[in-house]
């Protein structure tokens, strides 16, 4: 697994911070050549240096994923400088933490354009090239919130739901075409990323992920692994599994439970700082990387994800144990 992506060309959107930054580092450790897409050039260059220090090769591609022409130009430049794209990972997102009635139309539109249409445009650029070559992998980075929405994040939840819808449609089209291009979705739990420090908010207290919280490297390992599998979807962390299947079983209970708990659960005890950065329409300067401010409360390992990634071996081990148990029973008789 360590060198499974050696020499592959990988494009990652949202590559300069958060989960996207962790994904680029994970691919770099395996020797991939990376096209890095985000808006801010300064942090993209920092991500590029990190990739090179880890043994990978990278090109910085300053791009607003809400602009289809910019995304297409970034894809073209990636192929010119690195070669044909093998893997495209859509991660870029933004949101507004606020009750729906306090969100302005232009804010809702912008969050939707980045989080949803950014994945649409990324998929268009990648599939245009991959379909013609009949090979390649597209990874849509989603969320448990794509299946179970929570209050105070209606733009983000709506966008993540939409990603599942359009991805399912494309998947059927690829099957119809008998294409060897594979599209997969990786659904994440609460992650410790900078979004809670820089996404626009109208909450009285500092936003936080709904605990339990995981480090972005947990997501990155699953995303990079998923890029080499043929899975339809991958769920990361028990909270994701519980949210998705809980929505199927008891959606009305979830509505009421979240109405009671998710307002306080998405805020710390600290007031929102007067000089808080805001990345909704412009990139935020500063030395942000993969992690947010919740390191002390975040787990860097998920048992559920490890088991899912190794379920083939675990199944074989289970069969082996069952056989040994049967042999032991026979001997006792």
Contact at 8 Å (CB) between 189 and 150?
no
Contact at 8 Å (CB) between 24 and 13?
no
267-271 vs 205-207, strand pairing mode:
antiparallel
Known catalytic membership, residue 263: no
How far apart (Å, rounded) are the C-alpha atoms in residues 278 and 69?
25
**Three-state DSSP class for residue 36:** strand
| Ramachandran angles phi, psi of 146, nearest 5° | -75, -15
Catalytic residue among 156, 245, 257, 263: 156
| Ramachandran angles phi, psi of 12, nearest 5° | -125, 125
Contact at 8 Å (CB) between 290 and 21?
yes
SS in 3 state form for 275-298? CCCCCCCCCCCCCCCCCCCCHHHE
Give the active site residues: 156
């Amino acid at each position: 697994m360590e060198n499974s992506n050696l020499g592959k060309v990988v494009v990652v959107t949202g590559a300069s911070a958060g989960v996207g930054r962790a994904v680029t580092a994970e691919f770099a450790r395996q020797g991939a050549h990376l096209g890095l897409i985000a808006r801010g050039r300064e942090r993209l260059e920092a991500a590029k240096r990190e990739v090179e220090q880890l043994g990978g090769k990278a090109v910085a591609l300053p791009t607003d994923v809400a602009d289809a022409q910019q995304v297409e130009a970034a894809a073209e430049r990636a192929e010119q400088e690195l070669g044909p794209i093998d893997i495209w990972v859509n991660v870029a997102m933004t949101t507004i933490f606020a009750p729906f009635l306090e969100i302005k139309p232009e804010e809702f539109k912008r969050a939707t354009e980045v989080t949803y249409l950014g994945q649409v445009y990324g998929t268009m650029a990648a599939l245009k090239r991959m379909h013609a070559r009949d090979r390649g992998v597209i990874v849509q980075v989603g969320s448990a919130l794509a299946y179970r929405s929570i209050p105070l994040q209606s733009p983000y939840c709506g966008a993540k739901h939409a990603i599942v819808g359009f991805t399912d449609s494309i998947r059927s089209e690829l099957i119809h075409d008998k294409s060897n291009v594979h599209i997969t979705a990786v659904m994440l739990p609460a992650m410790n990323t900078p979004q809670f420090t820089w996404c626009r908010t109208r909450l009285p207290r500092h936003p936080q992920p709904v605990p339990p919280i995981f480090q972005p490297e947990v997501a990155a390992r699953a995303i990079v692994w998923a890029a080499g599998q043929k899975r339809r979807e991958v769920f990361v962390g028990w909270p994701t599994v519980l949210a998705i299947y809980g929505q199927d079983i008891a959606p009305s209970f979830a509505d009421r439970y979240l109405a009671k708990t998710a307002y306080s659960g998405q805020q710390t005890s600290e007031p929102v700082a007067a000089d808080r950065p805001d990345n909704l329409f412009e990139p935020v300067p500063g030395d942000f990387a993969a992690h947010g401010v919740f390191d002390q409360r975040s787990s860097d390992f998920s048992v559920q994800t490890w088991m899912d990634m190794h379920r083939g071996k675990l199944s074989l081990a289970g069969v082996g144990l069952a056989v040994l148990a049967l042999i032991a029973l026979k001997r006792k008789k």
